[in-house]
Structure 1
Amino acid sequence: MHMKSIDSRLRQLLGAVPTSYWDEKIKSHPGYWGERILSQLVYANEISKGKAGAYTDVIETALAYVEGRIAEEGVIAKQTALEAEQLLNDLAAEAKSYDILCVAHAHIDMNWMWPWDETVSVTLDTFRTMLNLMEEYPFFVFSQSQAAVYRIVEQYAPLMLEEIKRRVHEGRWEVTASHWVEADKNMPNGESLTRQMLYAKRYLARLLDIDAGSLNLDFEPDTFGHSLHVPEILANGGVRYYYNCRGSDGPVAYRWEAPSGHSIIGYREPTWYNDFIQPILGSYVPDICRQTGLKTHLHVYGVGDHGGGPTRRDLERLRDMDGWPIYPNIRFGTFADFYRLLETVSEKLPVIQDEQNFVFTGCYTSQTRIKTANRIGEASLNEAELFSAAAGALSGASYPGAAYEEAWRNVLFNQFHDILPGSGVIETREHALGLFQNTMAIANTNRKLAMEHIAAGIDTSGLGEPGDKLTVSEGAGVGFGTQAFKITQVERGRGHTRIVHLFNPSAYDREESAELVIWDWSSPIRTLVVKDSFGNPVAHQLLDNGFHTHWGHHYMRLLIQAKVPACGYATYTVALGEEAVRPFFPTDPRVEREESFVLENELLRVAFSPFDATVVSMIDKATGTELIDRSRPAGMFRFIREDASKGMTAWRVGRYMSIASVHENVKIKMEHRGNVRQSLKYELQFGSSALKVSVSLDRNSPRLQFGIECDWHEIGKGATGIPQLSFHWPLAYQSPSYKYDIPFGTIVRKPLDMDVPGNSWALGMRLQPDKPTVMIVTTNKYGFRGTDNSLSVSLIRSSFDPDPYPELGNPHKIGLAVCVAGPSSSNRELAETAYRFNHPLSVLSGVPRPGTRPCDASFLKLTEGTVAISAVKMPEEPEGNRWIVRVYETEGRDTKVKLQLFKPATEAYFVDSNERKASGGLFIGSNAEFVEFGVGASSVASVCIVFQQ
């Protein structure tokens, strides 16, 4: 008898024999016995397949017997099932050589299709059910992930928390929450993925009185893809195991190796993570076990997404099925039990050395405001921690660690895999943006307080003048700048000399433009002069000739060409010049000339079409290289209509049905032709929407900047498709591959006609290594498309489920830059380019006063090493005057890092991501003002620097 015929006969029986085991476990009911014996026959057949058909005859005898009894009686009665089990007795020992390890879990999505209050209720209701089942079933063991749900219990049901703690210490409640939430793994930056572990482990260790080291599983069943350096990030945080379901169709059990060489043990759920107990599950066991190399199969069960967890029926079925003679042994256990078994075969597991992507590519763009909140939240906290750490080390200013933890928890919560991806309902977005407001209140308040603390010690006594005692400028501008997510631009100066301090969060010196806001300047009859702290004149230009009003005050905007030291500040003055302002003349033209729209500086010449405002040429002046393909449609902004037939429109980018340039009936005009900035702006309308774009090119900058404001009113429908706004740049060279930034590194991908994730930028690589390339950097976008020798960024898309109107509301503001990268640009330089675009210089108004610190200073400078700095902060456990500095290697080679410090260090040592001391020493320079240490290729390293008191 051939195996195929047994397979087909079993399928026929499973489809034809009525069963009621799904609804009730009544052994006297014929349906129970039919389900029981057929499930055992299927399982036996799967065992036999793995043994080259060794049990075919036995199975054939039992199957023929069952078929005969059905023919006579029309059902499978109890006696038939028991007799058939006896006929299969030769397989009993082999059948019981397999185990099913049943691990109970309740997948709880954070605010997916419901509001926050429902998430709280789902969590508490689910946990009450689990605790009740533990009382009833002493063998029942439960596992639960996500630190955020334990925080819910602590906040809303503290008495329940005591019950959970008791079960945790009994070993019946497994805590699998090494992360704050089950987060997206593509859009958060590497520092965020590190903080997921840092704050989850610290919190849970304190809350539940457990060892933080026991939290060594990253449980990510529903996460939409997994970026390349995840194993490196997890290894640094003491996480050894990974559980995923989406993003890969590769091996079930595997070792996932990062480019650094660090690896973790992974398990890809082969069935599904929201499973209930059904007798046929035994049929999976032999094949999956052959793939894993174990005789134990992990079965994760429990109603999920909206919580719920295992049911009483699940437990009763499992207890009953364990007694079936031709069936695996069934036992209740934990993920830790299973991964201990995987450890025993870890050296034999297949190795994955790549990202595990892609799935649900629409999630890189859906819900623009949530994407903006994530990028801005990460950037603001990065700067706030840096300058707070500087203020603390400088003069003992209090470091607001608890406040930053609260802000980080908000950011981390919003990185949940249905929030940041934009695949939630309107209440999801509303709650996320509420958390974002709180994040920014904490980050920007403390960022500014730190800068003010630093500025208070700067000696500016020789820079200012007493000023008018009847001034109205002091205190002007309260709250100004918050809408742009900056620190507030309140005025502290007065009179005709104003002092400003510029702060640079980058680890390198910067020279670039900075916009100053000058309040209530009462002498427009004389020119302005801007000087640095040494009295040298500084290039500047007024951005507007008139005055703007703001709550009883007026202001003007001034652009200066500034130089600011690394991780430090510089001081400038704005004062009256000697020349009188030129008298007003009529503006009527005396001669008309050909109108051209060209932006040009020392590095680039960019020409725009006077007809439709598209870029028609971008020349790299150093090499004479053209960087945009003039032979192809040059629409910079395109309106795309996606096919919605796949459904799940928030998750999926549909097939492009139509692509059209929106550059029609454009209103365009030159805006600035100054010695610091040249710019033009244009406006256009398309569909029901309007687009305003300001394009600028600053002095000595390789960056063509687009400031975009879109009043978007497009609505997606099943019948008409998904409308999308895209930015498109046709490259003037052959691009065989494309480079993207990802958490803690970069990745090169082949051309793909689909959206793929980048943390903030994408670059079209070229065959000729001696020519410049084009890189597109964004301030709040994650979905890029590199294909057909072109780069595109998906800007806005109107999915319609689950949120029918996700993008309607206030106009969307998007920052985007087309950057020219030199032929030898390193990944570190590319990362720095993107960092600067996302971290403009901060401006703080100053006053003349005595002090002990110079007008310009650096707190930290990276002087050597192929690394990027991801964090400078004080430790979570305050102990003396110390910093944590985290770096990641960018070029794929071992490197020596040298950090120049602003004050002497007494000690320096490595720590892990949880800020625990690790092995390996650091070299402190002879003057104690720099530290040196090695970092492995593509690795992440965190160091603790202890300063002199």
Structure 2
Amino acid sequence: MHNDRTITEARLKRVLDERIRPAVYPESVPLDVTVWHAPGEPVPVAEGLAAGRTPIRVGEMWGPAWGTSWFTVTGTVPDAWAGRTVEALLDLGFDEKMPGFQCEGLVYRPDGSPVKGLNPCNQWVRIGERVRGGEPVCLHVEASSNPVILDYHPFLPTELGDRQTADDAPRYRLARMDLAVFDRTVWELVQDLEVLDGLMAELSADAPRRWEILRAVERALDAVDLQDVGGTAGRAREELAGVLAAPAHASAHRISAVGHAHIDSAWLWPLRETVRKVARTTSNMTALLEDEPDFVYAMSQAQQFAWIKEHRPEVYARVKKAVAEGRFVPVGGMWVESDTNMPGSEALARQFVHGKRFFLEEFGIETEEVWLPDTFGYSAALPQLVKLAGAKWFLTQKISWSRTNTFPHHTFWWEGLDGSRVFTHFPPIDTYNAQLSGQEVAHAVRNFREKGGATRSLAPTGWGDGGGGTTREMLARARRLADLEGSARVVFEKPSAFFEKARAEYEHAPVWVGELYLELHRATLTSQARTKQGNRRSEHLLHEGELWAATAAVRAGFRYPYEQLDRLWKTVLLHQFHDILPGTSIAWVHRETAATYAAVAAELEGIVGEALAALAGDGPGTVVFNAAPHGRGGVPALGAAPEAPAADRATTMEAREGGGFVLDNGLLTVAVDGRGLVVSVYDRQTGREAVAPGAAANLLQLHPDFPNMWDAWDVDHFYRNTVTDLTDVESLEPAGADAVRVVRAFGSSRVGQRIVLAAGAQRLDVETEVDWHETEKFLKLAFPLDVHTDRVAAETQFGHLHRPTHTNTSWDAAKFEACAHRFVHLQEPGWGVALVNDSTYGYDVTRSVRPGDTGTTTTVRLSLLRAPRFPDPRTDQGVHRFRHALVPGATVGDAVREGHRINLPERRVAGGAEVAPLVALDGDAVVVSAVKLADDGSGDVVVRMYEALGGRARTRLTAGFALRRAAVCDLLERPVGEAAVEDGGVPLDMRPFEIVTLRLARG
């Protein structure tokens, strides 16, 4: 019997490939083709349609990298085809194995209205279902010759990732431009056989159902006359009707298929190309919705809707109509599918604010699900933000990519930092590009981990990454799998319908507490340092822009720049997309990103400067503005005052025996040895030494960095096996009265550092400038500390989370590179150390016991630079500047304060006014993340704050203006409850890490 099965399966494959599939289009005639190659960047549709054309033949090459060619195909439907279905087959030179990663096209009618997109798995355009014969055919195709960047084995460095470095050689060969008869019966036979073949392959060899299908397939193949497939396809389908009609078991798993096309807002293509990818895909999906009444399509990322609204209004009109009909479903509620590790607190909140608001204003839809299938790990702050944004569900698939530990759940409650929980689903089909093949469906059933407690899962169905979406073949599979013995039941429905049913059936879902750490793609916390620095700087400038503009609006009648701030926020949010901020896009993307961040900074500096000038007023003095929390406990200082006199005690410097220097400011004594390394940081107030005995801090370390795969994405644990300590000194000398400067050379690179002990500062500042010209190397900055602790606190959005310093379990060991925002904090009872930064995210921590069991050394290393060659062959080459500070004796509150300080330096403005804070908080545990005017233009002041220390907090917000009313709001500034106003202030009791947004109406 085994031999029978093998023979039949081999027979089926050959007959399908060589006879039945080709018979789907039994007759064809060539179309006439002309082309215009647009010089430079894409042109408007009207210009592309009107441009002159020259003839081109099938087989000719076209399309340099990143070019646009406008093809026109013309012909006439043969009279002999009257009554039959006719389609145009337009193959631009596709490789069907790589949808989304190569040339694509959008088809237009002569009047410029879009028809549908063309991609490797969707090459047909319907001309007519029952043609008369003699109809003229004229179609225009806007074709993009996007080069193939991604070749999985191996990842090869390429200059094709930027139009400035790509060659101009044509990359594609025009393959087919025909009119053809479409034989629906043969096409349906193909779908029957493919579904049964896929199901049969997943059934056990001794399952009776497998053999029933096998015998039916044999009969069907016997019934097909290979010389007349079209004439006998109906007879073959009759032989399969019985096995296709057998119903699924009552206990069969249920799969909710959702039409989907994960479109990276930038990745192996620039932002401008994504605009066209979205237009192609949505044209396809709206056309498919018209043809398929049971189809439901979901699309996330408000930015992508906004793009087609701006650039392809004719496509957007179709989208709006389909959304109104309820079958084109906006999901996600975020501006883009952002990274969630690195965006700052307010930025992650604003992803929801701008995304949700767009869907409300454009479609009147309150999106309830957060849709992030492909992001590289998920912050523990998200559950609270999801709830505060008015959403209920969370979906991702990416955790299935983890390489060390298998995540234990598919449907569960996810609990965040503050205790908020969100109902969460990981599709067990393990792909966001599902095709509903027999293998995928069977895998979903086997893989589902909540068997017995739940019966259903979701399957995002359609070609993604580069777009394309769902195909008619996928819908045909779903129809056959709706109720088929041996398979899960498959039905297309909205994500909300799935979540409602899943929640209703799952009374006691398991709970996962804390971050969803992806055990892969850890290097995304470091790759493309300029992009990460631009993001960090933009976030803090936006904070300042809103704060000072709001203060100036209330105090001095300053015109609050609503529209400008809205636009700038959306620009920054776009660049937090999960292949931009993580540094995993082509060179073109990061080149444009750097220019964008520079423009954003210039605009925001202008807003800040104008607001501060309005506040400072006239006068001969200097006003110091401070947007950062200050004081030992982190009390927000949201106003300004005349400049204070310098600290009484200056820093002293002495030469150190054997080379090096000793710096002392009365609070800390710092020893720098002849190698320019910090060998002592002595806290004089507590008598504690921060640096571990015999060790040296501020140590630059260089590792080889050649991961097994995913160059810009991954750093593998074995990188630590080889390390070079950078201790050679080119020069070491005083740099003013309070600093030492050291210069080193290594490889093809140079680094200069200023080690600064400022007067009156309980911290050691380190300013590093690296002229980086290494390849496949990883640069770390190490601080071995004399602290015994089994965990560190790393700042995340609206709080911090603890990670282990040990590797007791495989889960602990897998976190060998993790994310911290502005600080990492370590402590023993009564004494701690903070390490703060102005622009880095990746860090690692290790512990060791010193010889003779004389104590524990806990080493924290901050990740500075990498040098992967794919997809950008010159990643991070050039000059970079970083600032860090070591803060001995620090509490978590000190870490919060110093982290803000290094990112929000004081501003000094000429003037004589004393500017009272617009709002002030009592206590040291609550930190303000935003002060702004309400987005609706009402003039209300909106303040968002959070408990930062991880404990209960009682505080009082005092308004620096007449306060008429206060309301607690959601993230979108919609009131959800009244707040008590007492004597011009608002008393608050806050939970650990709780976020509170207040809307303050002025009297």
TM range (shorter): 0.7 to 0.9
Tell me the distance in 2 between the aligned counterparts of 1:60 and 1:596: 79
Match of 1:606 in 2: 670
- Aligned partner of 2:419 in structure 1 is 261
Q: 2:275 matched to which residue of 1? A: 120
Change (3 A) 1:682 1:254: same
Contact persistence 2:836–2:895 (CA under 8 A): no
Q: Tell me: CA distance 1:392–1:725, structure 2 relative to 1, closer, same or farther (3 Å).
A: same
CA deviation vs aligned residue, 1:883-910 (integer Å, no higher than 9, x gap): 1111112233332221233223121110
The alignment status of 1:801 with 2:874, answered yes or no, reads no
CA distance in 1, matches of 2:242, 2:480: 18
Amino acid at match of 1:235: K
Shift of 1:298: 2.0
SS of 1:393 mapped into structure 2: helix
Q: How does 1:323-338 map to 2 (within 5 A)?
A: 324=484, 327-338=487-498
Give the drift of 1:593: 9.5
Q: 1:12 to 1:182 in 2, by over 3 A?
A: farther
Q: Distance in 1 between matches of 2:297 and 2:349?
A: 27
The aligned residue for residue 945 of structure 1 is 1000
Asked whether the 8 Å contact 1:116–1:431 carries over to 2, the reply is: no
Aligned to 1:671: 735
Instruction: Tell me which residue corresponds to 2:34.
Output: none
TM superposition shift of 1:404: 0.8
> CA offset at residue 371 of structure 1?
0.4
Change (3 A) 1:672 1:28: closer
After superposition, the C-alpha distances for 1:76-99 in whole angstroms (9 at most, x for unaligned) are 99999987986898x735169654
1:104 aligns with 2:259: yes
Task: Tell me whether 1:631 sits opposite 2:694 in the alignment.
Answer: yes
Structure 1 equivalent of residue 979 of structure 2: 922
CA 1:73–1:332 in 2, change beyond 3 Å: closer, same or farther?
Answer: closer
Q: For residue 283 of structure 1, what is the aligned residue in structure 2?
A: 442
- CA distance in 2 between counterparts of 1:750 and 1:135 reads 54
Q: How does 1:702-781 map to 2 (within 5 A)?
A: 702-715=762-775, 722-751=776-805, 752=813, 754-766=816-828, 769-770=829-830, 772-781=831-840
Where in structure 2 are the equivalents of 1:277-676 lying within 5 Å? 277-284=436-443, 286-287=445-446, 291=450, 293-322=453-482, 324=484, 327-358=487-518, 359-456=520-617, 460=619, 464=620, 499-508=621-630, 566-572=637-643, 596-610=660-674, 612-632=675-695, 636-653=699-716, 655-656=718-719, 657-673=721-737
1:274 aligns with 2:269: no
Distance in 1, Cα, partners of 2:950 & 2:507: 25
Could you tell me which runs of 5 or more consecutive residues in structure 2 were left unpaired when the two chains were aligned.
25-183, 227-232, 401-406, 647-654, 806-812, 848-857
Q: 1:417 to 1:11 in 2, by over 3 A?
A: farther
Q: Is 1:894 matched with 2:952? A: yes
Equivalent runs, 1:787-936 vs 2, <5 Å:
787-788=846-847, 789-809=858-878, 811-822=879-890, 825=891, 827-846=892-911, 854-855=913-914, 857-864=916-923, 866-880=925-939, 882-919=940-977, 921-926=978-983, 928=984, 930-936=985-991
1:335-364 deviation digits (Å, cap 9, x = unpaired): 112112122134322111121103310000
The Cα shift of 1:45 comes to 6.0
Q: Distance in 1 between matches of 2:208 and 2:305?
A: 52
Whole-Å separation in 2 of the counterparts to 1:130 and 1:12: 39
Root-mean-square deviation (Å): 3.5
Q: Is the 8 A contact 1:683 1:693 kept in 2?
A: yes
User: Aligned match of 1:210 in 364, 368, 393?
Assistant: 364
Change (3 A) 1:694 1:944: same
Does the Cα contact within 8 Å between 1:144 and 1:175 map onto a contact in 2?
A: yes
Give SS of 2:399's match: coil
Following superposition, the deviation at residue 806 of structure 1 comes to: 1.0
| Distance in 2 of aligned mates of 1:67 and 1:135 | 33
2:203/2:210 contact within 8 Å kept: no
User: What TM-score do you get using the length of structure 2 for normalisation?
Assistant: 0.74
Q: Check 1:138–1:454 CA distance in 2 against 1; reply closer, same or farther (3 A cut).
A: same
Letter in 1 for 2:816: M
For structure 1, list consecutive stretches of 5 or more residues without a partner in the other structure: 47-55, 465-498, 513-563, 576-590, 716-721, 849-853
Q: Deviations over 1:377-414 (max 9, x none)?
A: 11111111111111112133221121111111111111
Q: Give the deviation of 1:323 after TM superposition.
A: 7.2
Identity %: 25
Alignment length, in residue pairs? 797
Change (3 A) 1:71 1:196: closer
Amino acid at match of 2:982: G
Amino acid at match of 1:316: A
Letter in 1 for 2:786: A
Report the CA distance between 1:510 and its aligned residue: 8.8
Deviation at 1:801, TM superposition (A): 0.7
Q: For the residues of structure 2 that align with 1:680 and 1:592, how far apart are their CA atoms?
A: 12
One-letter amino acid of the structure 2 residue matched with residue 600 of structure 1: D
Contact 2:538–2:601 at 8 Å: present in 1 too?
yes
- Structure 1 residues 762 and 15 mapped into 2: Cα distance closer, same or farther (>3 Å)? farther
- In 2, Cα distance between the equivalents of 1:883 and 1:510? 27
Shift in Å, 1:123: 1.2
From the superposition, tell whether residues 594 and 609 of structure 1 become closer, same or farther in structure 2 (CA, over 3 Å): closer
Q: 2:300·2:333 contact (CA, 8 Å) conserved in 1?
A: yes
d(CA) in 1 for partners of 2:298 and 2:350?
22
CA distance, structure 1, for counterparts of residue 611 and residue 225 of structure 2: 79
Amino acid aligned to 1:868: V
Q: Is the 8 A contact 1:637 1:728 kept in 2?
A: yes
Partner residue in 1 for 2:383? 231
Distance across 2 between alignment mates of 1:891 and 1:233: 18
Amino acid at match of 2:450: Q
Amino acid at match of 1:225: G
Contact 1:423 1:651 in 2 (8 A): no
The match for 1:219 is: 371
Deviation at 1:148, TM superposition (A): 0.7
Inter-CA distance 125–36: structure 2 relative to 1 (3 Å threshold): closer
Secondary structure (helix, strand or coil) at the match of 1:738 reads strand
> 1:101, CA displacement in angstroms?
2.4
Q: Secondary structure at the match of 2:757?
A: strand
- Counterpart Cα distance in 1 of 2:747 and 2:7: 55
The AA in structure 2 aligned to 1:724 is F
Does the residue aligned with 2:922 lie in a helix, a strand or coil?
strand
Within 1, Cα distance between the matches of 2:779 and 2:507? 48
Q: Which residue of 2 aligns with 1:551?
A: none
The aligned amino acid for 1:309 is: G
- CA 1:88/1:181 → structure 2, altered by over 3 Å: closer, same or farther? closer
Q: Is the 8 A contact 1:706 1:815 kept in 2?
A: yes
Contact 2:926–2:945 (CA under 8 A) maintained in structure 1: yes
Contact 2:656/2:673 (8 A) holds in 1: no
Change (3 A) 1:15 1:388: farther
Q: Is the 8 A contact 1:190 1:233 kept in 2?
A: no
CA distances 1:714-762 after superposition (whole Å, capped 9, x unpaired): 12xxxxxx21221001112333221100111111111257211111221
